[in-house]
Structure 1
Amino acid sequence: MRLAVVGGGSTYTPELIDGFARLRDTLPVSELVLIDPATDRLEPVGGLARRIFAKQDHGGEIITTTDLDAGIAGADAVLLQLRVGGQAARQQDETWPLECGCVGQETTGAGGLAKALRTVPVVLNIAERVRRTNPDAWIIDFTNPVGIVTRALLKEGHKAVGLCNAAIHMQRTFASLLEVRPEEVHLDHYGLNHLTWELAVRLGGPDGPDVLPRLLEEHGDSIAKTVRLPRPLLDRLGVVPSSYLRYYYGHDEVVEEMGTRPSRAAEVAAMERELLEMYSDPALAEKPALLGKRGGAFYSEAAVALAASLLGTGTQAGAGTDSGRPGQGASPSVQVVNTFNDGTLPFLPDDAVIEVPAAVTGAGAVPLPAPAIGPLQAGLISHVTAYEDLALDAALRGGRDRVWTALMAHPLVGQHRDAEALTDRLIAHNREHLAWA
């Protein structure tokens, strides 16, 4: 089996490599191609990847290349984990929105829109080249903003599924608190990418008993710390919001906090420099502990489980997965993914991309029937879905008016003076990445 990783020079990649090595029975990779135009990153990452495979006695070959077409040729699946503009663009995304009193964040708000505008055209170009080279290959999108990028891919008819590590991270967190194996925990995880709630935590499978009330009662403080929201808020909601909900539920407090400390982008950039230096050490043959602070926890497990299900290999161990089931057999693997709504949430259009548990086979992902979504969650999901629709239109067709309209629609902006000022800043900081600007 041949897999290709676009953005293979990312400092995330050793996490992915470690998962491929450990879970070789689930996903038997014979060739893994790391594709990246930045050779200063690709070579140290590729070298460490080879040493990880060797240390764990994995017989697969790791290939590094800057040639996209050569790298994706013959691939059974292509994983996308690229960052257009690099950490420098992220630093901007997290900085200029604060000048207008708005959250500066790389996947939501004005910064998230900037990232979508830079990213969607690049990803669609890559996907079209994958389709020309190998139309049967699956595209697994880990590139943020995952919901908007995956929607762009699916609307263009590509064989794509979006992936985020948020659900598998919460699954592992709850499993640890319950002292059970992760595969025993199924999440009623519903919403949009980076806008989700754990509505129930079920033991044993999708129909198992809901132990979320018990978790909140016995471990509420720990869970609140994990999602960075106040314990009283979780008790009042009776559900567990994603940590990204803090930008909505505590916007002004978060903006004030962001103005008093270095940006996450600055922290990550410093971390990446240190990681790349570590990766260059020929004695290093495992992912370093520092990588755990980079983000993307359990990304490798989620990626392996999803790829195995789509390609029909091995057994799964992903978020909410019934362990031991064949990837393409009579019983599909249940995993949390980003895919078309298709009536799952009745208050959204069918072509909205939602993040929900789905039955995954070689034919793709089919969302499981959803529980009733309360108006507090449904209202915000609908609001952000409308923004994502306008954001995708701006990414595909460009133009200042479309950018302004998308910002007006975002619940973290929504005021015309802020939208005007943010539009000017977004275009000024991203002009080199916007063909229409």
Structure 2
Amino acid sequence: MKLAVVGGGSTYTPELIDGFARLRDTLPISELVLIDPAADRLQLVGGLARRIFAKQGHDGRITTTSDLDAGVAGADAVLLQLRVGGQAARQRDETWPLECGCVGQETTGAGGLAKALRTVPVVLDIAERVRRTNPDAWIIDFTNPVGIVTRALLQAGHKAVGLCNVAIHLQRKFAALLGAEPAQVHLDHVGLNHLTWELGVRLGGPGGQDLLPGLLAEHGEKIADDLRLPRPVLDRLGVIPSYYLRYYYAHDEVVAEMRTKSSRAAEVAAMERELLEMYGDPALDEKPALLAKRGGAFYSEAAVDLAAALLGGRGGADGAIQVVNTFNNGTLPFLADDAVIEVQARVGATGATPLPVPRLDPLYAGLIAHTTAYEDLALDAALRGGRDRVFKALLAHPLIGQYEAAEGLTDRLIAHNREHLAWV
């Protein structure tokens, strides 16, 4: 089995490599290709990757290349984890929206739109080259904003599934609180990428007993602290929102905080410099503890589970159940079939089929519908360009919605991203 990782020079990659090594019985990789235009980073990450495999007794071959076409040739699956513009672009995404009184974040709001505009054309070009080289390969998208990027891939007819680590992170957290094995914990996870709620937490699968009320009663303070939301909010909702919902439920509070402290991008950039220095140490043969602070917890487990299910090695003939991003296809009746949602799905060799979702409270359905409308416009802007399309997407976003803010954000987005926008 051959896998290719586009963006293999990322500091995330050793997390992925560690998972591939530990879970080799689930996903028996014989060849792994790390692809990245940054040759210096690729050399450091590739060296550490080989040492991790060697230490854990994995006999798979790891190669590195800057040649995309050669790297993906013959791959059974191609994992996308790229960041167009690097951390410098992220730093800008998290800064200029604050000038208009809006959240500065890399995957939602104006910063998220900027990232989508930079990313979608690049990902579609990569996917077309994969299809020409190896039309049977699955594309696993971990590149943010995952929902919009995955929708672009699916609408272009690619064999693609989107992946995020939020659900598996919560699954592991709830399993620890319940004293259960993670595989026993099933989440009633519903929404869009980075806009989800856990409507239930069940043991033993979709039909298991819902333990969410007990979790909130016994561990509500800890869960609320982790989400940085007041405990009474969780009690009144009776569900557990993802931490990205804080940008919606406490927008002004978050903006005030962001204006008084360094950006997450600055923290990550400093962390990356330290990590790359560590990766260059020939004695290092395991992922360093610092990597846990970089983000992407349990990313490798989620990626292994998804690749194994798509390639027929997990879940048997019926496939496996996993939270993924895929076409709605009637799952949420208030959305178009070609909207991309993030829910539990049955995943197998033919792709992902969402499990049924109960009728949603308008509190959640309304925000999902509103944000999906923004994503419609965001994808249109990413595919066709134009200042008016950017403005309309920003005006439609639930975190913006005011014409003066949208005008100011449009000017700033274009000014800070000219080198990445072919239509400017």
User: TM-score w.r.t. structure 1 length?
Assistant: 0.97
What displacement does 1:232 show? 1.0
Partner of 1:430: 417
Matched, 1:394 2:381: yes
TM-fit CA distance, 1:229: 1.5
By how many angstroms is 1:230 displaced?
Answer: 1.5
Map of 2:94 onto structure 1: 94
User: What displacement does 1:41 show?
Assistant: 0.9
* Pick aligned residue for 1:404 from 382, 386, 391: 391
Alignment of 1:69-84 (within 5 A): 69-84=69-84
**Aligned residues: CA RMSD:** 0.5
Q: Is the 8 A contact 2:319 2:349 kept in 1?
A: no
| Structure 1 counterpart of 2:277 | 277
Q: How far, CA to CA, are the matches of 1:225 and 1:280 in structure 2?
A: 37
How far is 1:395 from its partner? 0.1
Aligned mates of 1:102, 1:174 — CA distance in 2: 32
Residues 240-287 of structure 1, C-alpha deviations (whole Å, 9 max, x = no match): 001000000000000000001000000000000000000000000000
The corresponding residue for 2:364 is: 377
Q: Secondary structure at the match of 1:15?
A: helix
Classify the secondary structure of the residue corresponding to 2:391: helix
TM-fit CA distance, 1:129: 0.3
> Given residue 381 of structure 1, which amino acid in structure 2 is its aligned partner?
I
SS in structure 1 opposite 2:322? strand
The sequence identity of aligned pairs, in percent, is 81
Q: What stretches of structure 2 of length at least 5 have no aligned partner?
A: none
Deviations 1:19-55 (CA, angstroms, capped at 9, x unpaired): 0000000000000000000012111100000000000
Q: For 1:67-123, what per-residue CA distance to the aligned partner results, in whole angstroms no more than 9, with x for missing partners?
A: 000000000000000000000000000000000000000000000000000000000
Taking the aligned partners of 1:380 and 1:162, their CA distance within structure 2 comes to 21
Give the Cα separation in 2 of the matches to 1:299 and 1:144.
13
* 2:101 and 2:255 in contact (8 A); partners too: yes
- In structure 2, the residue matched to 1:129 is 129
How many angstroms apart in 2 are the aligned matches of 1:352 and 1:175? 31
- Aligned-partner Cα distance in 2 for 1:41–1:97: 30
Alpha-carbon displacement from aligned partner over 1:302-337 (angstroms, at most 9, x marks no partner):
000000000012x4xxxxxxxxx33xx2x3200000
1:314-333 counterparts in 2 under 5 A? 315=314, 325-326=315-316, 329=317, 331-333=318-320
**2:404 paired residue number:** 417
Give the drift of 1:433: 0.1
For 2:200, what is the secondary structure of its paired residue? Answer: strand
Taking the aligned partners of 1:436 and 1:366, their CA distance within structure 2 comes to: 36
Give the Cα–Cα distance (whole angstroms) in 1 for the partners of residues 178 and 237 of structure 2.
Answer: 21
Alpha-carbon distance in 2 for matches of 1:253, 1:370: 32
1:182 aligns to what? 182
What amino acid is the match of 1:366? T
Aligned partner of 2:347 among 351, 356, 360:
360
User: Residue 97 of structure 1: SS of its match in structure 2?
Assistant: helix
Q: Residues of 2 paired with 1:181 and 1:5: CA distance?
A: 29
Counterpart-to-counterpart distance in 1, 2:16 and 2:226: 23
Query: Structure 1 residue 174: deviation in Å?
Result: 0.3
Residue range with higher mean Cα deviation, 367-376 or 115-124: 367-376
Q: Counterpart in 2 of 1:233?
A: 233
Segments of 5+ residues of structure 1 without an aligned counterpart are: 316-324
**How far off its partner does 1:226 sit?**
2.0
Distance in 2, Cα, partners of 1:332 & 1:373:
26
AA in 1 matched with 2:391: W
Please state how far the C-alpha of 1:375 moved relative to its aligned partner: 0.3
Deviation at 1:225, TM superposition (A): 1.9
| Mapped contact 2:312–2:319 kept (Cα < 8 A) | no
SS of residue in 2 equivalent to 1:172 = helix
One-letter identity of the residue aligned with 1:99: E
Residue type matched to 1:434 in 2? L
Shift of 1:228: 2.2
Alignment of 1:125-274 (within 5 A): 125-274=125-274
| 1:26 alignment partner, SS class | coil
- What is the alpha-carbon distance in structure 1 between the residues aligned to residue 137 and residue 13 of structure 2? 20
Runs of 4+ off more than 3 Å:
none
Q: Is the Cα contact below 8 Å between 2:141 and 2:150 reproduced in 1?
A: yes
Q: So what's the TM-score if we normalise by structure 2?
A: 1.00
* CA displacement, residues 114-146 of structure 1 (integer Å, 9 cap, x when unaligned): 000000000000000000000000000000000
Q: How many residues matched? A: 424
CA–CA separation in structure 2 for the residues paired with 1:2 and 1:22 = 17
Residue 334 of structure 2 aligns to a residue whose secondary structure is coil
Partner residue in 1 for 2:13: 13
Work out the CA distance in 1 between the residues paired with 2:89 and 2:272: 15
d(CA) in 1 for partners of 2:401 and 2:133?
42
Give the secondary-structure state (helix, strand or coil) at the position aligned to 2:92: helix
**Which letter does structure 2 place at the counterpart of 1:111?**
G
Match of 2:327 in 1: 340
